């Protein structure tokens, strides 16, 4: 109903639950993440595509296992039944099936996806969020594309400055299926039991076992045998012991998966990624379309604290708000200590998804998706903890300012001329939009934007064909603290030379920081014992 004239609107002005507006410092951090990821994608020869934000409902149906309940269905308005996309993988497979002339492609796609999940906003668990996907489609020799994707993953997190503070957990769907089979899981329960195992990063084994037996009807002895395997973690030593296990190696699925993983580790050694990888038998990836190697990237904050269940660790909800629970799907669980950020990237091989749409030729695919909002939440928390230097809110390199004495007219046209000259040379520049700005106000504007250099114009200096260039933020006592007078005709080469020197200085400092990689203690040096299954 409409409102009478003068009557106040009564609705609450807010964003929908699980969504947020982005601005200022947060946008700067997020855009830096985007550009870093995109640079790595392009380095590896990827091209980009775009797909609609919603798909036909039947396209998404049956692709996500138990997570299908999180899909946003759109209201039927007399047309086609549609749903908001849940990820970028299924739309890519649909695109491949529609474009049969494309038999191989390296593609990346950066876009928003939608899930009606229980949000935890400050931890990057949202209902509308960005994914950055990289996928390789086509028929290639085994594990070569898979290895390159893990190399890409390592390059991205190193480029983001995470300096080894992350782990790429890997596993193989066929190894898991083989373990389930030798433990006695009926074939019709393989996927549903796999979904239960995938919750081990959030829930203790006792809870996962209860789900298997009480909710999914698995025999308790079978669940106990599975438990002996899915808690194993290690590296190549664990893979060697699994490969030598007589019962597993006799299972066709397990043997195929173990052979794949041995080959993958050979390639990861060459790509210098092995030290960042952990073979984790609890990793299952609940989505139904995975067929081979699977992986997730985790870091501190991905999982809730180990003592999160203890009353002393609980965080009280804000006054007037009820404590968030799993039974309240709309409540923001940011203050719930039992909730972590989750994985910051994940993916795997899906060789049969395209064929589900085309009904014809299969196009094998393997890919990974980076959760930008989760990466953002971890990055921002680290910056606050490490008291990182202030971020620049724009990319302006030069601020043009002017000063003068009695009768000063602001030198507006001269400032505009200098700005035009710098813009023509491709230099990012700005000036005050006041006719007669005060010098302190101009410096304040430059400082607020984090602009590295100022060009200062004075009437007497301009009359001599000169102006001053000043690097902002130099310490007291520095010989160039007050700036350096240069010839106006040399403005562009002088500015470009100083910008290049500043960039080189930053690169050297960044390289020195990267040399100091923290010791890793999350991958055991010795593989655990492999259980015996009769």
Q: Is 362 annotated as a binding residue?
A: no
pLDDT band, very low/low/confident/very high, at 522 (cuts 50, 70, 90): very low
Q: Which of 529, 527, 496, 486 is nearest to 424 (CA)?
A: 496
Is pLDDT larger for residue 12 or for residue 5?
Answer: 12
Is 43 inside a domain boundary? yes
Is 528 inside a domain boundary? no
Q: Which of 344, 282, 437, 275 is nearest to 124 (CA)?
A: 344
Domain shared by 300 and 430, yes or no: no
pLDDT reading at 200 higher than 90: no
pLDDT reading at 314 higher than 50: no
**pLDDT computed for residue 511 by the predictor:** 60
Q: Is 518 annotated as a binding residue?
A: no
Domain shared by 260 and 409, yes or no: no
Q: Is 118 annotated as a binding residue?
A: no
CATH number for the domain harbouring residue 483: 3.40.50.800
Domain shared by 304 and 427, yes or no: no
Is 353 inside a domain boundary? yes
Domain shared by 305 and 452, yes or no: no
pLDDT band, very low/low/confident/very high, at 411 (cuts 50, 70, 90): very high
Domain shared by 511 and 416, yes or no: yes
Is 393 inside a domain boundary? no
Is 223 inside a domain boundary? yes
pLDDT-wise least confident of 224-228, 316-320, 385-389, 443-447: 316-320
**pLDDT computed for residue 350 by the predictor:** 94
Q: Which of 336, 293, 290 is nearest to 314 (CA)?
A: 336
Q: Is 514 annotated as a binding residue?
A: no
Q: Is 411 annotated as a binding residue?
A: no
Burial of 120 (0-12, 13-18, 19+ CB in 10 A): buried
pLDDT band, very low/low/confident/very high, at 385 (cuts 50, 70, 90): confident
Domain shared by 342 and 455, yes or no: no
Q: In terms of residue numbers, what domain contains 453?
A: 398-515
Q: Is 135 annotated as a binding residue?
A: yes
Domain shared by 92 and 146, yes or no: yes
Is pLDDT larger for residue 323 or for residue 93?
Answer: 93
Is 417 inside a domain boundary? yes
pLDDT band, very low/low/confident/very high, at 95 (cuts 50, 70, 90): very high
Look up the pTM and report it. Answer: 0.79
Is 329 inside a domain boundary? no
Domain shared by 227 and 370, yes or no: yes
Domain shared by 375 and 415, yes or no: no
pLDDT reading at 318 higher than 50: no
pLDDT reading at 425 higher than 90: yes
**pLDDT computed for residue 279 by the predictor:** 95
How many whole angstroms separate alpha carbon 70 and alpha carbon 125?
Answer: 13
3-state helix, strand, coil in the chain (%, to 5): 40, 15, 45
Domain shared by 437 and 341, yes or no: no
Q: Is 283 annotated as a binding residue?
A: no
Domains identified in the chain, total number:
2
- pLDDT tens per residue across span 24-72: 888 989 999 999 999 999 999 999 999 999 999 999 988 887 788 999 9
Domain shared by 279 and 317, yes or no: yes
CATH number for the domain harbouring residue 318: 3.30.930.10
Q: Is 338 annotated as a binding residue?
A: no
Q: How far apart are the first and last CA of the chain?
A: 71
Is 460 inside a domain boundary? yes
Q: Is 89 annotated as a binding residue?
A: yes
Q: Which of 89, 92, 110 is nearest to 41 (CA)?
A: 110
Domain shared by 318 and 367, yes or no: yes
Helix (H) or strand (E) holding 487: strand 484-487
pLDDT reading at 321 higher than 50: no
């Amino acid at each position: 109903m409409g409102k009478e004239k003068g009557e106040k609107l009564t609705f609450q002005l807010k964003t929908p639950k699980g969504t947020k507006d982005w601005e200022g410092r947060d946008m700067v951090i997020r855009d830096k993440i985007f550009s870093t990821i995109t640079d790595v994608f392009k380095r590896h020869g990827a091209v980009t595509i775009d797909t609609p934000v919603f798909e036909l409902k039947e396209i998404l149906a049956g692709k996500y296992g138990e997570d299908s309940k999180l899909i946003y269905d759109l209201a039927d308005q007399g047309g086609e039944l549609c749903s908001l996309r849940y990820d970028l993988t299924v739309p890519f497979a649909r695109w491949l099936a529609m474009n049969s002339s494309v038999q191989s492609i390296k593609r990346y796609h950066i876009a928003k996806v939608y899930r009606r999940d229980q949000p935890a906003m400050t931890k990057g668990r949202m209902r509308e969020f960005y994914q950055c996907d990289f996928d390789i489609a086509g028929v290639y020799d085994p594990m070569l594309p898979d290895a390159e994707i893990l190399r890409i993953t390592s390059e991205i997190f190193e480029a983001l400055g995470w300096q080894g503070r992350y782990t790429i957990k890997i596993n193989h769907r066929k190894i898991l299926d083989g373990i389930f089979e030798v433990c006695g899981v009926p074939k019709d329960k393989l996927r549903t039991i796999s979904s239960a195992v995938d919750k081990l990063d959030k829930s203790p084994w006792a809870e996962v076992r209860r789900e298997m037996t009480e909710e999914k009807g698995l025999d308790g002895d079978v669940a106990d045998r599975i438990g002996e395997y899915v808690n194993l973690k290690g590296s190549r030593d664990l893979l060697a012991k699994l490969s030598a296990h007589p019962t597993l190696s006799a299972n066709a699925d397990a043997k195929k998966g173990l052979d794949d993983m041995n080959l993958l580790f050979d390639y990861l050694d060459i790509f210098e990624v092995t030290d960042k990888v952990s073979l984790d038998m609890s990793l299952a990836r609940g989505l139904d379309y995975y067929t081979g190697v699977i992986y997730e990237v985790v870091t501190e904050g991905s999982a809730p604290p180990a003592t999160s269940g203890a009353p002393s660790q609980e965080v009280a909800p804000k006054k007037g708000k009820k404590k968030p629970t799993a039974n309240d799907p709309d409540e923001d669980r940011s203050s719930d200590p039992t909730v972590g950020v989750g994985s910051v990237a994940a993916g795997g091989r899906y060789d049969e998804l395209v064929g589900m749409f085309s009904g014809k030729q299969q196009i094998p695919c393997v890919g990974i998706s980076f959760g930008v909002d989760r990466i953002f939440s971890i990055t921002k928390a680290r910056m606050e903890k490490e008291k990182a230097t202030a971020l620049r809110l724009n990319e302006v390199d030069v601020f043009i300012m002017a000063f003068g004495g009695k009768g000063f007219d602001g030198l507006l046209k001269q400032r505009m001329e200098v700005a035009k000259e710098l813009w023509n040379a491709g230099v990012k520049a700005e000036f005050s939009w006041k006719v007669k700005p005060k010098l302190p106000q101009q410096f304040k504007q430059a400082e607020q934007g984090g602009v590295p250099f100022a060009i200062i114009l004075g009437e007497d200096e301009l009359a001599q064909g000169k102006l001053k260039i000043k690097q902002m933020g130099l310490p007291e006592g520095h010989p160039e603290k007050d700036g350096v007078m240069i010839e106006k005709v040399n403005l562009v080469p002088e500015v470009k030379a100083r910008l290049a020197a500043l960039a080189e200085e930053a690169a050297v400092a960044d390289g020195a920081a990267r040399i100091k990689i923290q010791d890793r203690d999350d991958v055991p040096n010795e593989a655990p014992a492999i259980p015996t299954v009769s």
